[in-house]
Amino acid sequence: MEPPLNVIRKIEADEPESYDWPSIIGELNELLRLRVTPIGMKMFETAAEMEAVPRIRRPSAIHTTDQIVAQAARLSWTVGVTNDDLAGSQCGAVIGLHPQDEAWQAGSNYAGVWYETLEDAAAHQAAMDVVPYGKYEAMAVSPLSTGRLDPPDICLLYGTPGQMIILINGLQFSGYCEFNWSVVGESSCADSWGRALSTGEPSLSIPCFAERRYGGVLDEEMLMALPPRFLPKAIEGMRQLSQNGLRYPIPQYGIQSDARAGLGFSYG
């Protein structure tokens, strides 16, 4: 007899056609006190489809994908790109806009810089989660609150480790599932939007050097990428946790206090 599908890992065929984004964003901000605008990312099979998004901006310079994401999250812009707008092959390859060809797989530009040998660099490239090349011509990002990408393929939430563990606890409240996430190191966008786009599952990442240098990600920030269908589940779970006294910000109990009263309240 096959085991039942886990609620978290189940990819539903009936993805809602739209979401009540003002309500979702309001609840996320109430439960997590987010400091960065939650955004959506959507892939498009043609550039024309991307350019039809209302009030879309097109870059006037060459950028990294980190910068494009940051323009939505930090400036509240709606921005669309094709591979021609992106710097180098790595940015485009992660989201399926550039071929993951032999030259990309070799990763020779990384040898002697990020990795000691050519073999190390190639192993890093092979470890990355990427969107397969050939289906998409363009990508767009936009604040979720605008509804311009309704629904996006994935949502991106920046937050502190404390905010992220409460979000994860919310996802796990019902239909528990252990999350197993990887860290490729440099190009950790593969751990966030690359993994979420290619697997359809939530993925937490530690933003890398490039995301912090070019994408404005702060020292204390992590990134959760997840398809939008997981947000209502996470919100409902966090609501239940909050009713149980488990909420963000997590109050400090004191490292020298008698812990029994606090443990009795939270753990029984």
Rounded CA-CA distance 3/100 in Å is 36
Rounded CA-CA distance 201/6 in Å is 12
Closest CA to 98 of 50, 65, 67: 65
Rounded CA-CA distance 129/126 in Å is 8
Reading the chain (268 residues) residue by residue, the pLDDT tens digits are 333 334 334 444 457 889 999 999 999 999 999 999 999 999 999 999 999 999 999 999 999 999 999 999 999 999 999 999 999 899 999 999 999 999 999 999 999 999 999 999 999 999 999 999 999 999 999 999 999 999 999 999 999 999 999 999 999 999 999 999 999 999 999 999 999 999 999 999 999 999 999 999 999 999 999 999 999 999 999 999 999 999 999 999 999 999 998 888 888 7
Please answer whether residues 204 and 223 qualify as being in contact, where contact means their C-beta atoms are separated by less than 8 angstroms.
yes
Closest CA to 81 of 73, 90, 91, 99: 91
Q: Could you tell me the pTM of the whole model? A: 0.93
Residue 9: partners with Cβ closer than 8 Å, 6 or more residues away: 177, 201
Using alpha carbons only, how large is the chain's radius of gyration in Å?
Answer: 20
Domain layout of the chain by residue ranges: 21-249
